[in-house]
Structure 1
């Protein structure tokens, strides 16, 4: 089943693909301006959805291809959520033109928040990436997904919670996971499998409640909880001040001799409310 969708400008899908291409597990083709997405069906099977840009920044249009007609409304709804197609960027862009981030927003105009394709995959990925440089974090995540997930039609799917819950710590250690990181990943799988952690329910909670729930879980601190709010739930007003990338980007933008303190970031970010998540995204983009 094929469908063409038009959305409100500005929207720069090429910027989206640039960022998604940083993750080697994503099936991105920048030349053809498309990505193949893993769609996790309720029955545990996977389907690949292809999204291709056929428009421009000022006239954004997309061609979507579903493998089957079944439940197409739910699949389209998920694609719209992932790419934030129903959240126009014009007002956000105008807001930042009056701030110190105006040059970054001008350069990267139309760059939306894009969600991870699956909430559980987002949480696992965040845990794996904790306290690692980006290159090795991607390598470790690749090893994990390629061993315990599955590949279908050229697209990698993360393993489901029930699969992760059955993994042995020593098997992850063989992939170069630390002892604790292995325990954390398996523990999250166990909590979801047992019903103790319900990711669907988290979508209905406030930012503060999500952070409180997630940080009770061993191995999940504020950085991972905030990252989940951003990358899995797309919350609009988050600014992870402890993130090294954010600190480096602000240091570069303001030509500071040292990385800013948490207190300095708190003060500098006041004018960026209520769109702190977009400030975070564009700051990351400025140094990628």
Structure 2
């Protein structure tokens, strides 16, 4: 029987399960067992009186009722955050130093920073865009408070955000994927995306040539938009005029990459912790949207 009371703890787990597309990954985030999360979702269905999940192959998808609840759940959790912050936040002054790859610069970052500034208007936010190796060095030396990173695996003390598929990305010209040798737009070595792409081509013995080598993500996107070749990247920050190629194009499959955050201090300050929470929510929603678009293309 449906009631008129929705528990925030259930809604938080529900949103995580939907965003991460997995009960198991949601369980990791809330420090519960997968069976406990399944019971939570059953409880939520009992409260709402609606079926929220529908089996699809080995996985599941949200029903129409589930999609409707997801929108309301996000609003309720956001209002809860705002209420807690308004009642407990202090007027903190100082600086928060954030490092991230250029992929994130125009991809959810403005929203996250605006939300943080509204909560801590007296805080100064210093943003550094650079290569991961350089950001890691600055974090280790204490020049940065938090860094967003990509990696094959999530380090032991990192804050996991979620997996994201690596893609072959080019402009609107479909024929570029069939060119021999394949013209590639590559980031300067060392680069995990470059290595993943070249390894995949080597496995199928596909020839390639460097059409562009750059240290700038913006430069690679511009070259892709112009039709100069294909790059290897995630869809984070992918500009208009570019698209991700599917395996039907004849290009080999690529692995997933993990997105996570690293902090300088094991116990960050209240302001840094709040920035981490906002970034986590923003990027998790973004990754979920990318995965949903990928499913539609498949």
TM-score relative to the length of structure 2: 0.22
Return the index of the structure with the highest Cα Rg.
2
Higher strand proportion:
2
TM-score relative to the length of structure 1: 0.23
Higher relative contact order (CA 8 A, sep 6+): 2
